[in-house]
Amino acid sequence: MALTTCAPIEDDIFTQARITVTAGDDQAVTRVQAQVKLTNVNTRQVTTVADFDGASVTVEVLRGAYQIDIEGVATCQLAGGAAPRVRQFRCQSDYVELVRQETNELSLNMIFLD
């Protein structure tokens, strides 16, 4: 009965997300300077982060559903040994669930603007 169980408390309210931007099979992303904007679909709270490590960035957010927007520049190394290029890009995802207790791994395709 209700008295034998206390209120179910879920204090693990945060989760980590590791977001990786990818440019396709023909080129590798070596360095990124971009702003990642995560908008919580339920609360409309916005979290921004920009400290990329290579093509990935790690962020801690409230567990929930998110809309992700990334905009910035990246250094891309084309296959075949061509000189690396700095390219402007954008990534977007309308709905991503970040609810796992362990790190959520995400991969988003870049759309180049140049």
Binding site for other proteins (CB under 8 A): 1-3, 6-11, 13-14, 41-45, 62-65, 95, 97, 99
Minimum distance from residue 63 beta carbon to other proteins (Å): 5
Residue with Cβ nearer other proteins (33 or 45): 45
Strand order from edge to edge, sheet including 85-98? 46-49, 27-40, 64-78, 85-98, 111-112
Tokens of 1: 């009965």
Residue with Cβ nearer other proteins (8 or 80): 8
Residue with Cβ nearer other proteins (8 or 81): 8
Neighbouring C-alpha atoms within 13 Å toward the C-beta of 67: 9
